Structure 1
Amino acid sequence: MIKQCFHCGTECDTNSFVFDAKDFCCNGCKTVYQIFSENDLAGYYEMENSPGATPTNNKDKFDFLDNDNIVEKLLEFNDGHTQIVNLYIPHIHCSSCIWVLENLNKLNDNIKSSLVNFPKKTVRITYSSEGISLKALVLLISAIGYEPYISLEDYQKNKKVKDRSLIYKLGVAGFAFGNVMLLSFPEYFEVDEFWLNQYKPFFRWIMFVLSLPVVFYAASDYFISAYKGLRSKILNIDIPIALGIAVLFLRSTFEIVTDTGQGFFDSLTGLLFFLLLGKFFQQKTYNFLSFERDYKSYFPIGITKINSNGSEESIQVYDIKQGDKLLIRNEELIPVDAILLKGKGKIDYSFVTGEAEAVRKFSGDKLFAGGKQTGEAIELEALKSVSQSYLTQLWSNDVFAKDKHEGFINVTDSISKYFTIIILIIAFGSAGFWLWFDASKAMNVFTSILIVACPCALALSAPFTLGNMLRIFGKNKFYLKNAHVLEQLAKINSIIFDKTGTITSNKETKVTYEGDPLDNREQTLLKNTLRNSNHPLSRQLYSILKENQIITLDEFNEYSGKGIEASHNDQTIKLGSAAFLKAPVTQKSLKTAVHVATNDNYKGMYTFYNSYRKGLSKLFNSLKNSYEMTILSGDNESERGNLEKLLPPGTKLFFNQKPDEKLNYIKYHQKEGANIMMVGDGLNDAGALRQSNVGIAIAENVNVFTPASDAILDASKFDLIPRYLWASKKAMKVIIASFILSFLYNTVGLAFAISGNLSPVIAAILMPLSSISIVAFTTIMTNLIGKNLNKRI
């Protein structure tokens, strides 16, 4: 009996290693099994039989990782304690690989987390550099059979390794198709003389040889995908294609060997050529609609730049250049690697490392992109320009998306769930009928059905429609995290708005002061305290107060939904709500206001007279018939009368809402069946944005980056919210329409194929043409939606 290695599946020779009553081909595989068993990772083998790879034993191969300069180039993040590296692992191929690589922390306690990107075959590992070096980490991964491929060129900016395998396969299929067609001409035209007697068998065997690289190389992706699908008990769309190719090849080989016919090598090679041509077209179109270029590059995080004359201006992050001086306020993201110049850094790297504890930094320290300042404002000098894809990677981090869309089934999966099994039933049923009625047509009918019913067009509908809509939304300053958000937008039936900084405009608000005058020192302290805060009211008040000298605060603390405390030398200041300062309650206190106290003495209050965003009343009136409308505000009820006049009857108004109360309100109504879109400022509303089905953060010259939001909307496009919702519903209708077109194509094609009037090669030509037509249809329709998007309400 032939023994197979329990770990990698390789056939064992007579000198096999036996451990725990299991056979292993080498000591390396046995060692990996021991490692997994000792660390409670034996479940690795329960997911698949022999999923592992034989580990390498070349430890010297990674000696270059002893060089700190090389390591620094490979690291994505390094603060001296925690390091993050993204490694390319060619061997990643199945669910077992993902499972073991995401449980590396069980092999070494210094590994904090690891996240696999299966399509890209990469694993992003966060680890403690004090407990394990990068070299030791790489050797550990190699020891369990997942040796990473490390090339410094892959980590250089703007350099990408191009996968040319599809072009090579297309070239092989095209070469074979042309030559097989040429060799088939004599039989097409029934040339009997020299062909019949001398060269017919020879030419047929040449066609057979030419078909081998087509089947075993050019068609390999279809067979691999079909095999993985069957092994996972999933009927994917490549199964009918792989089955059709296999049947064509086996039937043609049988005819050649038995000399009963010329086979279908022309149809076989033509089928693969046109299939790969269609796939090549899809790839090119996807590159054109590249998310990296078409929506990540629009990512709109604002940042404050300090000019050489000391003035401050708001710029977008991708305008940052090396050497620029930047101001980072409380709760703002650090968008680039930088050096801390002024202020006390208290950096929260949880977006990057998952560690919630803030790290203290001082002047001269290096700060990494992705950190968030959680104290007073700091000044930085940028070390390089911003990496848009890196920022979006933080925004799209799966850590913040867990359970958000749990149970959500996208439109393609819901419609095409049973497509493959239906096609297989039709194919086998038709083949059985023709075997009984006219056996000579059975093979053509069977293969033509499998080819013409290929659901490629069906599978393309949603990705191309949603991808193009993401690009169009991005150009209109509405930035969605991913395609799932667009599908969720189309299902929204309830909309909740925050008030301050969301439906009110920061730019036109009037502010008055009532109380005891503030002396110069108090005004300077107030101005600098406000300079550190990112709250909408703080930013408004900061912008209207007169210029004062910039000072570094000794203490600064901001309490969400309450207020701020700060101190400088012997002077303290406290500002915020009346309850926070325990201010005397008067009728005027019911206004939206920021109360001020210095050295524990109440001074007075700045009253805000809200200026609502242009078109607010029209916006609510355009939404009232389709959506349930709610205002959840942390402010008091002073604006209730004005809002009741502005907004349509039936709009729910709730005031004095704390952040956790907003979240609980949304959670309760979701249990009642509501699909909620929350529109907020991205700061105090983070919990509510995270809980809602779609959370939209309003951006107005401020860094509103938050993983809690599913979308970011430029404040200048606030009145276009109804149009965005309209466009998302139209996009879903385009997908449904393209599905109908695809089904119509399949129905007509199947009618000809079942009746025996459609040859496999014609079916192979029509298949990519249907895909092209679907892509053209979705592109044209979404572009028409985009043209109508900017119509103001």
Structure 2
Amino acid sequence: MDQQTIHQQTTCYHCGEDCGKNPLVAYGKNFCCEGCKMVYGILNTNGLCDYYSISKNPGSNRKVVVRKDKFNFLNDEKIQRSLLDYTDKTQSHVTFYLPQIHCSSCLWLLENLHRLNEHIISSKVNFVKKEVSIIFNHTGISLKQVAELLTSIGYEPYISFNDMKKAKPGLNRSKIYKLGVAGFCFANIMLLSFPEYLGIDAKEQDLLSLFRILNVILSLPVFFYSASEFYISAWKSLRHKFLNIDAPIVLAVWVTFGRSLYEVFTNTGSGYFDSMSGIVFFMLIGRILQDKTYEQLSFERDYTSYFPIAVTKLVLAMEETVALPDIKLNDTLLIHNEELIPADGILTRGRAFIDYSFVTGESLPIQKEMGEIVYAGGKQTGANIEILVIKEVAQSYLTKLWNRDEIKEDKNTKQLSFVHLLSRYFTWIVFSIALATAIFWYFNDVSKIWPAVTAVLIIACPCALLLSNTFTNGNILRILGRNKFYLRNAQVIEEIANVEHIVFDKTGTLTTGAGADIDYKGEYLSGRLKNKIATLAAQSTHPMSKAVFSYLNSPSKMPLKDFSEIPGYGIEGIVDGDLISVGSRKFVTGDNTNNESSAVYVSVKEKVMGKFIFRNHYRNNIPSLITKLKNKYGLSVLSGDNDSERAALNKIFGSETELSFQQGPDDKLEKIKKLQRAVKKVMMLGDGLNDAGALKQADVGIAISDHSNNFTPASDAILEADELPKLYKFIQLCKINKKIVLASFAISILYNIIGIYFAVQGNLSPMIAAILMPASSLSILLVTFGASNVAAWKMNLTKQNKE
């Protein structure tokens, strides 16, 4: 019986990852790397180990060591001025985006920075935005040192080129203020109106007059300030020769206010100020709830959001930090491992292994030699390289790709929501009924013109109609947001409900960005032979060599000599006396037929042993998602990669799904246009800038994000990658949302028909109409809000996801 060795997993005390066979032991704890050990040491020295008691393994992995001089650019005064929110002689305020924030331990630690450095005055965390606002004494600690302090404890600030432009809009609180004013006035007007509703004693006429005057005064801020939101919207639509649903709301407010003033000053009644302020108050609540759902997101990000804020420039062999706008032609830039290339240039030193997946979708890095052109947007994955700039940042290939006319196309030119189309007819119908009522009573009983017309306009106010749509959409946006599916606005819900064909990008969408699955096919490799191959693979910086080394999981400490590497082909060397070659089919076997780009061959003593086959790692539960979708929707796959994954994709999608490979940005865009000519609505899911044109052209463009700081093209929605398997449920919820809104419209219109029937006869007083209007609105709100929650609950989407 063969003896089996069982490896018991040892987890890192700081980050919770596997420590491997040889964990680092310090302070009586196990750590996976020197970085995690260092962070624990810092916290332990400063008495901050309560951090670990709040949640288990709260820290982020620290295996990747941050370059020592990475934040030198923060010493530049120009960059400092663009980043600092406020500064005086001693204090400076700065806000950093920290994508590593994920739990209550993070919040606790970041708000105790003052215990790590006495010059940190205070630090406050915005958990939703993953931001920390720090006030520090810049005479004792610099901005660079603040960033390094955060990095040392595992929270490296994410600082992009876009931060220099201060493009982040501040929170618009105007609607909040308007709602507060409307709520205060509405409550007090209702309070002052109760005595008259309940029948005030005739002897208290002086008190009644006082209450009416106070109501007039309280109504003025509502009419002139709080309701301005609807005036502006209605006016903009009229300027474009379109009557939106805000127009009858404005008319109802004006008529109610005008009629109320007339009654008060002619001493014929108390008016309907409570109804007028109630209309404004409830409508503002709906608008604010809808806005609140997606105010945290930025969908209009461009390449500057993805680029670093500064890079290293070489001047007379000396390194200096330069901001991206200051990069000029013929500058020499030093690009470190894992850094993005900010401008097109010529490789002048070093060997480049550039990951262009962000731009082209190709999952495997491309090797470049000195003298070759490298393009902006690629990420160097090997040793340091130097490039000579041939195009400035604003003129690079990446920027041109972003600034395409197709990407700039405004989606507002697409078909308007059925709500707006309905409102156009609704408004004209209401106006026509009011006019017909006035004409009828003019020839029959002139005294009933004013009460009848006023009752028609109040009872036919589309508040219930619009509130049901606004509140239902707002609630659906909230539910989707809790499931990490963030829509640009409520209109996208309707677009998703109408989708007929779904297009998937492959790399980074169906597959994860975290490497590939590797299978070995060939002769048996003993433990000693694996160690030899791993020793050779460890000498190369090529990503595929690194992947083979990681797959073999061997110590790789055997004697090596005569190592050589032929760029783009393979590596070889004598390991412990054996000649070993690892590389392409041609390099190892000499056979150039069917040279697989996704396979690495290995030979020992010139005998071919086998090959390591690289396969993309598909996200969990993707096959079950596709099974649900293909029964109801047409499906396509567009990939910038080669067709090595055709068999795997056919197995997931079936033979009837169109699979297109080696698709560039133009190809993807044309495919979407072709589908749109054949079907009505197309949804596109992608992750890279190469997908930006297709995402913008599609009726619904969804950007898949693995990390919250990933670059997101101007899409209609952002979906966190882990939630992709729920896509079918999200689409179904959007379909149900449309049914709920249509049902509420039917109820609202039925209510309007019944109300108008009595109003045109002059049998419905404006007072009764004013009471029925908010009552019907509230009842419809309860129905729509409850129905959307029940639908989400049945699909198991109501439980809020934990970070």
TM-score by length of 1: 0.55
Report how far residue 378 of structure 1 moved: 11
1:269 to 261, 266, 273: 273
What displacement does 1:472 show? 1.8
Question: For residues 558-599 of structure 1, what are the alpha-carbon distances to aligned partners after superposition, in whole Å with 9 as ceiling and x for unaligned?
Answer: xxxxx99999xxxxxxx9999999x96434x35744799xxx
Which of 774, 778, 786 is residue 780 of structure 1 equivalent to?
786
Match of 2:19 in 1: none
Unaligned runs of 5+ in 2: 1-76, 87-166, 344-375, 384-401, 524-528, 557-566, 572-581, 603-608, 798-803
Quick one: which of 450, 473, 478 aligns to 1:443?
Answer: 450
| Mapped partners of 1:548, 1:404: distance in 2 | 55
Deviation for aligned residue 1:176: 5.5
Q: 1:74 to 1:429 in 2, by over 3 A?
A: farther
Going from structure 1 to structure 2, the CA distance change for 1:701 and 1:262 (only over 3 Å counts) comes to closer
Match of 1:164 in 2: 177
> CA offset at residue 760 of structure 1?
1.7
Deviation at 1:417, TM superposition (A): 1.8
Q: Kindly state the Cα deviation for residue 286 of structure 1 after the two structures are TM-superposed.
A: 4.8
How far apart are 1:427 and its partner, in Å? Answer: 1.3
- With 724-733 and 400-409 compared, the bigger mean Cα shift is at 400-409
Distance 1:483 1:438 in 2: 46
Contact in 2 for aligned 1:347/1:361 (Cα 8 Å): no
User: 1:679–1:696: 8 Å Cα contact kept in structure 2?
Assistant: yes
| Residues 570, 587 of structure 2: 8 Å contact kept | no
Cα distance in 2 between the residues matched to 1:579 and 1:664: 36
**Mapping of 1:71-470 within 5 angstroms?**
72=82, 164-172=177-185, 175=188, 179=192, 182=195, 191=202, 209-210=213-214, 212-213=216-217, 216-221=220-225, 222=227, 224-225=231-232, 233-244=241-252, 247=255, 262-264=267-269, 266-279=270-283, 281-282=285-286, 285-286=289-290, 289-292=292-295, 296=297, 374-376=378-380, 402-470=409-477
Residues 626-646 of structure 1: per-residue CA shift (max 9 Å, x gap): 212223334444544454444
Q: State how far apart, in whole Å, the 1-side matches of 2:568 and 2:718 are.
A: 26
Residue type of the alignment partner of 1:483: A
Distance (Å, rounded) in 2 between the aligned partners of 1:578 and 1:275: 74
729-738 vs 243-252, greater mean Cα deviation: 243-252
Structure 1 position 509 matched with structure 2 position 517 = yes
Q: How many Å apart are 1:512 and its aligned residue?
A: 4.0
**1:486-526 CA-partner distances (Å, limit 9, x unpaired):** 32222221122334444346677224499999989974564
Q: Residue type of the partner of 1:629? A: L
Note the C-alpha offset of 1:687. Answer: 4.1
How far 1:538 moved relative to its partner? 10
Residues 517 and 617 in structure 2, CA contact (< 8 A), matched pair in contact too: yes
Maintained 8 Å contact 1:511/1:541: no
Q: Distance in 2 between matches of 1:207 and 1:164?
A: 25
CA contact (8 A) 2:537 2:549 kept: no
Change (3 A) 1:341 1:522: farther
> Are 1:625 and 2:625 matched, yes or no?
no
Distance 2:708 2:264 in 1: 72
Separation in structure 1 between the aligned mates of residue 759 and residue 587 of structure 2, nearest angstrom: 77
1:218/1:434 CA distance change after superposition, 3 Å: same
- How far is the alpha carbon of 1:724 from its aligned partner? 2.0
SS of equivalent residue, structure 1 residue 631? strand
Give 2:504's match in structure 1, choosing from 483, 497, 500.
Answer: 497
Match for residue 724 of structure 2 among 710, 718, 724: 718
Aligned pairs (5 A) from 1:638-653: 638-653=644-659
- Structure 2 distance, partners of 1:576, 1:687, is 36
Q: For 1:700-779, what aligned pairs fall within 5 Å after superposition?
A: 700=706, 704-779=710-785
Shift in Å, 1:454? 1.0
In the TM superposition, what whole-angstrom CA distance separates every residue of 1:386-430 from its partner, at most 9, and x where no partner exists?
A: xxxxxxxxx9x9996633453231232122122212111111211
Output one character per residue of 1:145-175: Cα deviation in whole Å (capped at 9) or x when no partner. Answer: xxxxxxxxx9999996885344345545655
TM-superposed CA distance for 1:737, in Å, is 1.8
How much does 1:692 deviate? 2.7
Alpha-carbon distance, 1:750 to partner:
1.7
SS at match of 2:510: coil
Deviation of the 1:243 alpha carbon:
4.3
Q: CA deviation at 1:743?
A: 1.5
Out of 681, 691, 695, which is 2:697 matched to?
691
Letter matched to residue 418 of structure 1: Y
Counterpart CA distance in 1 for 2:503 and 2:420 is 30
Change (3 A) 1:158 1:542: farther
- Look up the match of 1:92: none
Query: How far apart are 1:719 and its partner, in Å?
Result: 2.8
Matching residue's letter, 2:177:
R
Measure the CA separation in 1 of the matches of 2:456 and 2:623. Answer: 57
Distance 1:405 1:275 in 2: 28
Match of 2:107 in 1: none
d(CA) in 2 for partners of 1:428, 1:592: 75
Alpha-carbon offset, residue 447 of structure 1: 0.9
SS at match of 2:763: coil
Aligned-partner Cα distance in 2 for 1:721–1:358? 48
Q: TM-score scaled to structure 2, two decimals?
A: 0.54
Q: State the shift of 1:233 in Å.
A: 4.4
The number of aligned residues is 548
CA contact (8 A) 1:489 1:725 kept: yes
Structure 1 residue identity aligned to 2:499: I
* 1:669 aligned residue (664, 671, 675): 675
Alignment-mate amino acid for residue 661 of structure 1: D
Structure 2: distance between partners of 1:748 and 1:580: 84
Give the Å deviation of 1:273: 3.5
Cα pair 1:347 1:360 within 8 Å, conserved: no
Judge conservation of contact 2:642–2:661 (CA < 8 Å) in 1.
Answer: yes
Alpha-carbon distance between aligned partners in 2 of 1:242 and 1:423, rounded to the nearest angstrom: 13
Structure 1 residues 245 and 474, CA gap change in structure 2 (3 angstroms): closer
Counterparts of 1:538 and 1:736, CA distance in 2: 58
Cα distance change of structure 1 residues 604 and 767 upon mapping to structure 2, 3 Å threshold: farther
C-alpha change, 1:667 and 1:248, in structure 2 (3 Å) is closer
User: For the residues of structure 2 that align with 1:775 and 1:697, how far apart are their CA atoms?
Assistant: 32
| 3-state secondary structure, aligned to 2:268 | coil
Instruction: Please say if residues 599 and 611 of structure 2, whose CA atoms lie closer than 8 Å, have aligned partners that are also in contact.
Output: yes
Structure 1 unaligned residues grouped into runs of 5+: 1-66, 77-153, 302-330, 380-394, 531-536, 550-562, 568-574, 597-602
Q: Percent identity?
A: 33
Residue 660 in structure 1 maps to residue 663 in structure 2? no
Contact in 1 for aligned 2:313/2:333 (Cα 8 Å)? no
Aligned partners of 2:216 and 2:619: how far apart in 1? 67
CA distance in 2, matches of 1:604, 1:349: 47
Letter in 1 for 2:267: Q
CA distance in 1, matches of 2:490, 2:587: 42
CA distance in 2, matches of 1:412, 1:702: 33
